[in-house]
Structure 1
């Protein structure tokens, strides 16, 4: 008979299913730069028990798995992975966005995007596939080649592709760096081969060539905007002979219980100068 080790809270499991959670838990704790003691204090446990779980000497209860995942701010999809590794059934469903059960959510998102017009706003999933967008986004995409607009649209690809918006973004080095950093932070949280492949694709795009400018050269953004200091890095983009300036804001759902909903993000673009405000207002019927 295999020997059993007793954890501080009385759980045992060296030979029971669920030993695979140890390396996963240790990985998340390391990413969060927490010691076993710090995690134990946050989760109302003991460093000894955390050590036993990480080394496979103890199997945490389902409640403890969820508590640890919460204290480590583990993404919802990965919480299911932790539960499975500990020998429990997934807790969080993954419902397709076109499922009838998501009808109220889809309607709410549509109303939100329309209400934000004429300012651009869109909804993307965990790999930046565009699931909804308003007319403000359609305005920015005018002139983009049709082959890049074939569904499914990808926000990162549309923005950074040399034939996409990148050719019109005046501060491309700064904005590209911001987007790649954003994706890098996500990759540190999600084990997503699709997101990794997208990152490698868009990071390898060559800079677009601009007429009258050397390849890769862009107009620098100064620290002073038209009405004072900039409060955030803007996306400065040419449109119909004008230069528009936006700062973006990203919102997610609070305490989601579904993987699909947890990975949705609503990105809105706020005019960063009076000229952009005036121009967008002129588009309103």
Structure 2
């Protein structure tokens, strides 16, 4: 009797694995030879994996995903497509294992006062914010912010909405293309839908080279602030949710902006 190990048909999960692997390799702009060398295999074997003529081991799936810097969530998808169980979990915020990480995030956000700091995921859903960020968001969006399907604040939708942040953003022709690049594949959708940079997705693709440090210049009701940001990630996260998060800290780009933020903190 034929078994799953010696019989191949259109439903073989490794066929799907080959499609996904080739898609990730092309998205990263890596040749078969370069990927094979990085993963410690041969170009011939990699070619067989992509076409479904060979089946990957669990070790090989992990090695290829690591060489391609595939996000943890998508590494699980690659493993499943090859018939293996997931390697990474997404713990709940209440999980005791996350207590130390939660404390670290709280420490970073608190120490950023009186300047804004936020925690976002890779889709730019707002996960946490310090008091300074809450003040700034309340000032710029007094009627509230759009929400995602999970109930979190959808910063991407607000940023590219011409009636959202766009109406207060003085240098939107510089900032929005940069934001779109950071968002990745979903950027053209948001840019076109929100009318980013007067030309939508087309202008995002044709954007001029960015300056060394891009500032966020906002002005509302006579209050002007110029900010630049730094981005912090967790080192070697093994949890899907933690792998997705970014801590973005905003700093005043000049003395006048610093004075405004300090004044806002004093109420």
TM-score, length of structure 1 as denominator length: 0.76
Flag the 1:99–1:199 CA change in 2: closer, same or farther, 3 A. farther
SS of match in other structure, 2:56: coil
Which of 36, 45, 52 pairs up with 1:56? 52
Distance 2:261 2:118 in 1: 17
Q: Deviations for 1:4-57, whole angstroms, at most 9, x for unmatched residues?
A: xxxxxxxx8773753321111111111222222211111111111111111111
Q: Name the structure 1 match of 2:84.
A: 88
Q: CA RMSD in A?
A: 2.7
Deviation (angstroms), 1:78: 0.9
- 2:249 corresponds in structure 1 to 268
1:211-222 mapped onto 2 (5 Å cutoff): none
Count of residue correspondences: 244
Q: Which residue of 2 aligns with 1:167?
A: 167
**Which of 178, 192, 196 pairs up with 1:203?**
192
1:67 paired with 2:63, answer: yes
What pairs with 1:70-219 in structure 2 (closer than 5 Å)? Answer: 70-141=66-137, 142-148=139-145, 152-183=152-183, 185=184, 187=185, 196=186, 200-201=189-190, 203-206=192-195
Bigger Cα displacement from structure 2, 126-135 vs 143-152: 143-152
Larger % of helix: which?
2
> What's the secondary structure of 1:148's corresponding residue?
coil
Cα distance change on mapping 1:63 and 1:274 into 2, 3 Å: same
1:33 equivalent to 2:22? Answer no
SS in 1 for 2:127: strand
Equivalent residues of 1:245, 1:272 under 8 A apart: yes
8 Å contact from structure 1 (residues 14, 57) kept in 2: no
TM-score between the two structures when normalised by the length of structure 2: 0.80
- Mark the CA change 1:112 to 1:87 in structure 2 (over 3 Å): closer, same or farther: same
The answer to whether the 8 Å contact 1:144/1:163 transfers is: no
What's the CA shift string for 1:224-248, capped at 9, x where partnerless?
xxxxxx7412110115523211112
Cα displacement (A) at 1:275: 1.8
Q: Are 2:72 and 2:240, in contact at CA under 8 Å, matched by a contact in 1?
A: yes
The structure that has the greater radius of gyration is 1
